[in-house]
Amino acid sequence: MIPFLQPLVSSIFIEEATVQDLQRAFQNKSLTSKQLVRHYRDKIFIQSPVLKAVVEINPDAMSQADAADRERAALAPGKSLGDLHGIPILLKDNIATKDKMNTTAGSLALLRSVVPRDASVVSKLRQAGAIILGKTSLTEWANFRGKRMPGGWCARTGQGKNPYNNKADTCGSSSGSAISAAANLAAVTLGTETDGSILCPSSNQAVVGIKPTVGLTSRAGVIPITPRQDTVGPICRTVADAVYVLDAIVGEDSNDEATIEASKYIPKGGYKQYLKIDGLKGKRLGLLRKFFDFTYDPGLGEAFERHFSTLSERGAVLVEHMDTSKFMEAINGIQDYEILATTAEFKLAINSYLENLEVSSVRSLKDLIEFNNKTPAEKIEEYGQERFLEAEATNGIGETEKHAIEELERRARDGFEKLMTENNLDAFLSPFGSTAFILATGQFPGIIVPAGYDNEGVPFGLCFGGLKGSEPTLIEIAYDFEQATKIRRPPFTRSSY
């Protein structure tokens, strides 16, 4: 076992080491992938019983690491195998792997089920040479089971804990991925979002989350909520690391039609070319101060005011005098339409997923409801399964659901899109991912970056949202902001619990 603060090379440590730090250590032979996997595995064994962030470790991770070390040793001098080669990654437990691990969405119902193939994003990660280290916990069924379920709870692990304050909200549903990235349980992690499930837990755990344009990353092999909004994205400690993961997982996939249209947004040469230290210069950022009114905690307001000054000092133009009436009208009540549409879409999507499993004891949403009723560990009496019951009562996409979807599209178009285009904005600012729902329902991208800590030590982030395909611009903005502020700090050690 490598001590947690053992130097890799000069002043570089495994704790908080970036992907490039690790690659340099590989290259100068001060670290191997096997040592790195062993380090993360040991740390998971120590901390996960407290944090409950990892549901299982891949029994093949060490053999994958050994193969990566052999490939690196055979490489000609001066050659590179890519940014993620030999790098361990944890996957949210709704992302399928065709291996010895389970894919369960945090539920006991899918234990020992067998998926037909790797999720497409997993295939891409394997092709990039990443080591699949294990699966992270999540708010069960991506927080689409019961209305009373707390963020970060799943039957496989129990309640996930925020590593900065174990009484604080982890948020969800990609809670385990955010906890793991924050607590240095893996080099990088992968999450999914339907509505806020990457942005919110990233904010609460002081990590970077990228919620991509819907279709930029394939959802094939991911346990679904709704194909209209589901997306897969990285959760990492730095913008650069998140971008390396994004570069590896984007692209057209014949098993996901949405990727065919969205692939037009992928820039030639990938996304890491947009990691620019002057990325904020000239950028027009929409600032609606109503979202930053923290009369209940003046310290939060002061922190964001400092950030606004930093953005201006770095060359950004803060656009405050905007007509936001259509935007505010658009977001008012939007979640009612979202729930109406998503409830029917979920039944169709989950039934299709379950029917296509090679092995499973449940084959429909009805089966899941019955399983939950018979399984005390699922805590149905305490946390409920109202979403499941409401979805089961639907009967496809009827006129009501079509109207709800059309209303979501109209509000995205007449609200957010018009606000962005009429004011020539490059990004829209929001705290904690508080406008995640408009990004979700409109299929827009967002990036959240650590922005500070409240008086309880709980992190909060600043979110940059944009129009479809605006990831290059958002990366430039987020990276420059991160480099100018350097706010992230690791959580306390295990002894703090």
pLDDT higher than threshold 90 for residue 131 = yes
Q: Which of 175, 177, 197, 218 is catalytic?
A: 197
CA proximity to 121, closest of 7, 10, 255: 255
State which CATH number among 3.90.1300.10, 3.40.50.150, 2.60.15.10, 3.30.420.40 fits the domain covering 19-496: 3.90.1300.10
Domain extent listing, the chain = 19-496
- Name the average pLDDT for the chain: 95
173 is catalytic: yes
379 is catalytic: no
Is the pTM above the cut of 0.85?
yes
The rounded distance, in Å, linking the Cα atoms of 219 and 120 is 7
pLDDT in tens, 222-272: 999 999 999 999 999 999 999 999 999 999 999 999 999 999 999 999 999
pLDDT score recorded for residue 497? 33
Q: Which of 92, 135, 283, 347 is catalytic?
A: 92
Q: Work out the pLDDT band at 189, boundaries 50, 70, 90.
A: very high
Q: Work out the pLDDT band at 138, boundaries 50, 70, 90.
A: very high
pLDDT in tens, 373-424: 999 999 999 999 999 999 999 999 999 999 999 999 999 999 999 999 999 9
Mean pLDDT within 291-298? 91
3-state secondary structure the chain: CCCCCCECCCCCECCCCCHHHHHHHHHCCCCCHHHHHHHHHHHHHHHHHHHCCEEEECCCHHHHHHHHHHHHHCCCCCCCCCCCCCCEEEEECCECCCCCCCCCCCCHHHCCCECCCCCHHHHHHHHCCCEEEEEECCCHHHHCCCCCCCCCEECCCEECCCCCCCCCCCCCCCHHHHHHHHCCCCCEEEEEECCCCCHHHHHHCCCEEEECCCCCECCCCECCCCCCCCEEEEEECCHHHHHHHHHHHECCECCECHHHHHHHHCCCCCCHHHCCCCCCCCCEEECCHHHHCCCCCHHHHHHHHHHHHHHHHCCCEEECCCCCHHHHHHHCCHHHHHHHHHHHHHHHHHHHHHHCCCECCCCCHHHHHHHHHHCHHHCHHHHCCHHHHHHHCCCCCCHHHHHHHHHHHHHHHHHHHHHHHHCCCCEEEEECCCCHHHHHHCCCCEEEEEEEECCCCCEEEEEEECCCCCHHHHHHHHHHHHHHHCCCCCCCCHHHC
pLDDT in tens, 199-216: 999 999 999 999 999 999
Q: Which of 33, 48, 123, 173 is catalytic?
A: 173
CA proximity to 262, closest of 308, 230, 304: 230
